[in-house]
Structures are given as structure tokens and as C-alpha cells.
């Protein structure tokens, strides 16, 4: 008597950069959007002194651009999941990148400062959407840590050339600071079409199991965010990435003002220092992410964060512009692999169903950190001086180490 045949469990194949075919263009779209994000974020530090003169405002008022961006990030986290469910990734990316392009029109035309602050809301919203979708896409590919490192490495590339171009525009070319945003406007327009086209059939190419998980009925958006925040890894991850991006953008945004006002540096020369910082981040992401995956992300992030903290202390204590420029670049080198390594650890600690809301929440908190910390730095710089940048960044590094220590041990995904 033969036994009844037992059902064969279906095996879910992990997608690669080459399969499905359109994944290569999706990765290109994510990388190009990340370059535009970095061109916007990194140039702020070089352009803030010129924005202050153009609008006749101080540190505290110009820091409102970070507030507008933070509100945009928060809004994107709240509406991302329902908009994704209703529109799909392609239309959502097209909408977000279209809003980004319109925001840069306000920059190019030199609109009144309140309009610029509102434009930064749309910049923050768009970056929040495209970063969350890109993190989920790259993290779900084979060799997810390496793919995340490549994608975030392109952010470093944009961050490296952004201050160089911005400084050249306002010094060598003698143009008004608004002309720099013609570049981000052009790239933003390209990503509208590339993102929409490459992700158009994304949901159709997903496996049945992945589609079922993503479209399963769930809680409301706020309930979903509160629910994932109950997960220890999401709460600690959100604080960790908040501190990481807060430190990263604060250094990029205010180190030039520190060198000009505290170290009496020449604006035409020190404007290039933040490019060294972003070059360090780029090299770190391209050269150190793969070895970190082999050694173990948990150990590597401890060492990198501690190294960044020590060199940040050197930037504060050594009164030499050349020495400080070198130390800032090394801080960037250490910080480079931290984000992709941390994102890979977070995703391994969550199920696939939790990852959609969890990574979106972590990304949104990180983007808010990149807006809130520079804003607080600007307020305090107005009151006591730009040297306040360094204790703020050192405090954020300590927060990162504390959160990383408390991150739970990695677990295999269970569905």
C-alpha cells in the first residue's frame, strides 16, 4: 500500500541584480536618486554662508531648511505604506521624484526664503520615499549587504562632488548660489522617468508568497508604525540611524562654518573640506562593506564608530586646518560602511512582513536625524559659536555605540 504523497513546500528564490532582468535598471534608478539626494544634502554646508548673505539671515533662521526637510521625512514615513499599496512602487516613485523636481525649481529661481523652507519639505518627502524603497529593494537581493553598500556608496559619490561643484559655482564661476540646483533639477527629472519605467512591473515579478505578505490586510498606518516600534530591533535601530545621520549631516553642514568662523579659514579654500568628508564615506562604503560582511557586521560597526569618535575629537582639539581636513576625511571613511552594515543586521532580525514597515520607520527616523541634529546645531551655533558642532557629534556617536550594544542577537527570518 503506497503512502499518500506529501506536499512539496515551495521554495522562494531570492532575486539578484540580474534576475529579473529589470532589476539592473531598478538598481540604477536607486543609485541615481541617491546621487541626487547627496548632491542636495552635501552642498548645504558649502552654500549656507552664501544663503545667509543672500537672504540676510543668521544661523538660527537658515537652519529652518532642516526643519522643513524633517517634516517631509516624517510625512513620508506615515503615508509610505498606504500610498505604496494604492499606487504601487512605480507611480509612488514618479510622484515623489516629481515633487522633488518642482521643489528644485524654487531653489533655481531664488524664491523667498519661506518658499525655500516649504520646498525642503518636498525634498524631505521625496528622499524619505526613495530611500525606503531603495533600502527594501537592495536589502532583498542576494548579497544584500554588498548591494546596500553599492547603493549607499553612490550617495557618497554625490556627497563628494557636491561641495566641489557648489564651491566652484559661487567662487570660480562667480555665479549666484541658486544656479547649483540646476544640476539636482536635471537629475530629479531623469529619476521621474527612470524610476517609473524600471519599477512599473515590479509587483507582477514578485513571488506569490512575497505578494501575499505585502498585500495582506493589516493595521492602520500609525498602528503599524507603533506596532513595529514595539520590536526592540526597530526601536534601537531607529535611534541608531537617527544618531548616525544626525552626525553625518551635521558634520557636512556645519564643519565649513566652523573652519571659517572659529579657525579663520578662507571660504574659497575650506569649502572643499566637506568633499574630503564625503570622499571618505564613499571609499569606506565601496572598500570596507564587503570585508565587513565577511568579518561580521556587529564587530565592525563597533570598531568603525569608536574610530570615528576618536578622530572627531582630533578635529575639535587640533587647531590646524590641514590636520582637521585630514581628520574629517578619516571620520567619513569610518562612517561609510556603518549604514549598509546596520541595515543588513536590522533586516536579518525581522521577518519579511515586519521589514516593510520596520525599515521604512528606521529610514524615516534616520532622515529626521539628518534634519533635526543640524537644526539644533545651528540654533546653538547662533548662541555660543560653531564649535558646538563637535560635542553634539561626539554625543551622537556615543548614542550609536549604546544602541548597537543593545541590538538583539541576529535571528533567521521566519515567515
Question: Model confidence over 216-227: pLDDT tens digits?
Answer: 555 555 566 666
H or E stretch at 110: none
Q: Is 319 exposed, middle or buried (0-12, 13-18, 19+ CB in 10 A)?
A: exposed
The DSSP 8-state label assigned to residue 111 in this structure reads: -
Which alpha helices (H) appear in 230-272, and where do they start and end? Answer: 232-261, 267-270
Q: CA torsion sign, 147 to 150 to 156 to 157?
A: negative
φ and ψ at residue 280, rounded to 5 degrees: -60, -45
In order, the DSSP letters of 295-307 are H-HHHHHHHHHHH
* Prediction pTM value: 0.77
Indicate whether 315 pLDDT > 60. Answer: yes
Q: Is 183 helix (H, G, I), strand (E, B) or coil?
A: helix
Instruction: Report the candidate in 185, 186, 175, 184 with the shortest Cα–Cα distance to residue 54.
Output: 175
The DSSP 8-state label assigned to residue 196 in this structure reads: H
- Average pLDDT (360-387) is 84
Cα 2 from Cα 69, distance rounded (Å): 67
Cα 179 from Cα 62, distance rounded (Å): 18
pLDDT tens sequence across 7-56: 444 556 778 788 888 888 999 999 999 999 989 888 887 788 889 889 99
pLDDT tens sequence across 175-214: 899 999 999 999 999 999 999 999 988 878 776 666 665 5
∠ CA 120-124-127 to the nearest 5 degrees? 135
In order, the DSSP letters of 358-413 are HHHHHHHHHHHHHHHHHHHHHHHHHHH-GGGHHHHHHHHHHHHHHHHHHSPPP---
- Average pLDDT (287-316) is 87
Query: At what angle are helices 389-406 and 232-261 packed, to 10 degrees?
Result: 160
Cβ distance 107 to 119 under 8 Å?
Answer: yes
CA dihedral 398, 403, 406, 408 (to 10 degrees): -150
Instruction: Report the candidate in 332, 42, 297, 306 with the shortest Cα–Cα distance to residue 148.
Output: 297
Residue 413 has what pLDDT? 47
pLDDT tens sequence across 112-171: 999 999 999 999 899 888 988 888 888 778 877 788 878 877 887 888 888 889 888 888
Q: What is the mean pLDDT of the chain?
A: 83
- Show the cell assigned to 293: 560582511
Q: Which residues contact 310 (CB under 8 A, 6 or more apart)?
A: none
Residue 269 has what pLDDT? 75
Cis peptide before 20 (omega within 30 of 0): yes
Cα 108 from Cα 140, distance rounded (Å): 37
Instruction: Report the candidate in 231, 36, 258, 43 with the shortest Cα–Cα distance to residue 129.
Output: 36
Cα 365 from Cα 239, distance rounded (Å): 7
Q: Which residues contact 134 (CB under 8 A, 6 or more apart)?
A: 30, 33, 34, 151
Amino acid at each position: 500500500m503506497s503512502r499518500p504523497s506529501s506536499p512539496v513546500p515551495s521554495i522562494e528564490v531570492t532575486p539578484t541584480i540580474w534576475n529579473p532582468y529589470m532589476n539592473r535598471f531598478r538598481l540604477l534608478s536607486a543609485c541615481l536618486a541617491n546621487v541626487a539626494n547627496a548632491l542636495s544634502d552635501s552642498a548645504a554646508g558649502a552654500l549656507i554662508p552664501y544663503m545667509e548673505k543672500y537672504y540676510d539671515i543668521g544661523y538660527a533662521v537658515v537652519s529652518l531648511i532642516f526643519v522643513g526637510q524633517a517634516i517631509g521625512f516624517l510625512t513620508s514615513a506615515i503615508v509610505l505604506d498606504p500610498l505604496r499599496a494604492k499606487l504601487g512602487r512605480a507611480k509612488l516613485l514618479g510622484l515623489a521624484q516629481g515633487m522633488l523636481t518642482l521643489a528644485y525649481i524654487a531653489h533655481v529661481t531664488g524664491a523667498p526664503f519661506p518658499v525655500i523652507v516649504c520646498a525642503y519639505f518636498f525634498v524631505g518627502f521625496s528622499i524619505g520615499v526613495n530611500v525606503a524603497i531603495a533600502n527594501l529593494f537592495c536589502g532583498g537581493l542576494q548579497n544584500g549587504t554588498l548591494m546596500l553598500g553599492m547603493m549607499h556608496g553612490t550617495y557618497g559619490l554625490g556627497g563628494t562632488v557636491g561641495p566641489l561643484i557648489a564651491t566652484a559655482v559661487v567662487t570660480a564661476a562667480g555665479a549666484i548660489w541658486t544656479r547649483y540646483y540646476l544640476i539636482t533639477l536635471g537629475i530629479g527629472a531623469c529619476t521621474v522617468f527612470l524610476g517609473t519605467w524600471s519599477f512599473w512591473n515590479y509587483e507582477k515579478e514578485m513571488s506569490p508568497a512575497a505578494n501575499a505578505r505585502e498585500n495582506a490586510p493589516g493595521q492602520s498606518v500609525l498602528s503599524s508604525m507603533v506596532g513595529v516600534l514595539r520590536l526592540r530591533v526597530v526601536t534601537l535601530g531607529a535611534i541608531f540611524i537617527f544618531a548616525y545621520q544626525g552626525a553625518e549631516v551635521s558634520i557636512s553642514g556645519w564643519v565649513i562654518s566652523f573652519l571659517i568662523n572659529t579657525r579663520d579659514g578662507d571660504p574659497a579654500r575650506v569649502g572643499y573640506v566637506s568633499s574630503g568628508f564625503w570622499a571618505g564615506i564613499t571609499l569606506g562604503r565601496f572598500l570596507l562593506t564587503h570585508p565587513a560582511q565577511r568579518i561580521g557586521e556587529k564587530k565592525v560597526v563597533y570598531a568603525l564608530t569608536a574610530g570615528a569618535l576618536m578622530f572627531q575629537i582630533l578635529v575639535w582639539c587640533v587647531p590646524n586646518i590641514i590636520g582637521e581636513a585630514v581628520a574629517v576625511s578619516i571620520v567619513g571613511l569610518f562612517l561609510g560602511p556603518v549604514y549598509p552594515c546596520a541595515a543588513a543586521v536590522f533586516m536579518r532580525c525581522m521577518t519579511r512582513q515586519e521589514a516593510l514597515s520596520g525599515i521604512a520607520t528606521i529610514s524615516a527616523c534616520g532622515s529626521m536625524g539628518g534634519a533635526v541634529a543640524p537644526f539644533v546645531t545651528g540654533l546653538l551655533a547662533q548662541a555660543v559659536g560653531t564649535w558646538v558642532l563637535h560635542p553634539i557629534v561626539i554625543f551622537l556617536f556615543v548614542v550609536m555605540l549604546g544602541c548597537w550594544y543593545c541590538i538583539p542577537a541576529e535571528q533567521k527570518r521566519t515567515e
